[in-house]
Amino acid sequence: AELVGQPHQGLSHMFVMMNAARLAVGVEGVGIAERAYQHALEYARERKQGRSVWTGVANAPIIDHPDVRRTLSVMKAKIAAARAICLSTGVAADLARHAATEDERRKWKGREDLFTPIAKAWSTDIGCEVASQGVQIHGGMGFIEETGAAQYYRDARIAPIYEGTNGIQAMDLVGRKLSQDGGQSARDLIADFKATLPLLGRLYTGKPVDRFANAVEAVEDATLWILDAKADKDRAADVLTAADAYLKLLGDVTGGWMLAKGALAAKAELDAGTGDPVWLEGKIALYEVYAANVLGHVSSRLAAVGQGGALLERMSADVLAG
């Protein structure tokens, strides 16, 4: 047998492959979600049903009903956020190897490590959610096989399971990735979130800014809570109970941050008079959709982070069966 790599470094060598595979599965989540979205968008433009409150047309295409428009908008916003997280994980992986200095390479490696479980778990959860919403937009036609919408939903369902279930990704995030550098990578990321906040205040007023500010505060509180709990060996169950909600919270806020940066870049292009104005205005609206529909939920994520292991211990197998 041949030795691959250095002795006693097997697990870390294996993680080179695992990180790439996990990112690839995250991208699979994005790909299925995008396909399900395009399918649903096309159907919503063709299917006619009911009077539109916007156009007054009696037999309007369902895309002209606010609830269908909301669903499509949230699907689009979540896909854009998941895609940005996956691409940024790839950029971090490249810079972890090729940045100019050792310090920068270490910093980017920390970000790659932090983002990889989020890219895998958050994006594949979005794949399922968006594919499910795609079925919903098709109504009864989505449930039967003819349109193909149900096939995307089934295909999306494997991605949160293989290459380490999403529960295992969350445990990896809080158990290894968050604390391997004493929480420095998470602190750097939170500092980047905070640096975007004043810029956001130049583009939006009121809720889109407040929601991001609240979300960043929530993720900072949750991070400190977990790092504190991790420092106490008697609180292992608290940390593991918090894992899923923490990954989702960090994914929600990272996705929002990336859409916010996209909106800022779009505004700069609009001001310069370059690019397609419909596409660029769309980027600015997309962040607002995301802020209202995703960032608005951060307080429930924070509550789930802090619920504590003792509560779930009380929900014993007997209680669950009762």
Ligand X SMILES: Cc1cc2nc3c(=O)[nH]c(=O)nc-3n(C[C@H](O)[C@H](O)[C@H](O)COP(=O)(O)OP(=O)(O)OC[C@H]3O[C@@H](n4cnc5c(N)ncnc54)[C@H](O)[C@@H]3O)c2cc1C
Positions in the binding site for ligand X (CB under 6 A)? 158, 161-162, 164-165, 167-168
The alpha carbon dihedral of 178, 249, 291, 71 has a sign of positive
**Cα 60 from chain centroid?**
33
CB 297 within 8 A of CB 249: no
Nearer to ligand X, 164 or 208 (CB): 164
Strand partners, 61: 48
Strand partners, 150: none
CB 178 within 8 A of CB 186: yes
CB 292 within 8 A of CB 207: yes
Strand partners, 48: 61
In the residue annotation, 163 being an active-site residue is answered as: yes
Nearer to ligand X, 16 or 161 (CB): 161
Q: Least distance in Å: CB of 11 to ligand X?
A: 15
Q: Determine the residue type at 166.
A: N
Quickly count: other Cβ atoms within 10 Å of residue 30's Cβ.
Answer: 26
CB 137 within 8 A of CB 39: no
Nearer to ligand X, 238 or 288 (CB): 238
Q: Least distance in Å: CB of 243 to ligand X?
A: 9
Q: 146 CB contacts (<8 Å, ≥6 apart)? A: none
CB 192 within 8 A of CB 199: no
CB 147 within 8 A of CB 40: no
For residue 168 the two structure tokens come to 């295992």
Q: Least distance in Å: CB of 18 to ligand X?
A: 10
Q: Least distance in Å: CB of 162 to ligand X?
A: 4
Nearer to ligand X, 81 or 118 (CB): 118
Nearer to ligand X, 168 or 224 (CB): 168
Q: Least distance in Å: CB of 224 to ligand X?
A: 24
Rg (CA), the chain: 21
Measure the CA–CA gap between 260 and 294, rounded to whole angstroms. Answer: 13
Measure the CA–CA gap between 267 and 25, rounded to whole angstroms. Answer: 32
The residue assigned the tokens 């750097």 is: 188
Measure the CA–CA gap between 242 and 258, rounded to whole angstroms. Answer: 24
Q: Least distance in Å: CB of 237 to ligand X?
A: 11
- Active-site hit among 112, 129, 163, 288: 163
Nearer to ligand X, 64 or 172 (CB): 172
Q: Least distance in Å: CB of 287 to ligand X?
A: 32
Nearer to ligand X, 54 or 162 (CB): 162
Catalytic residue numbers?
163
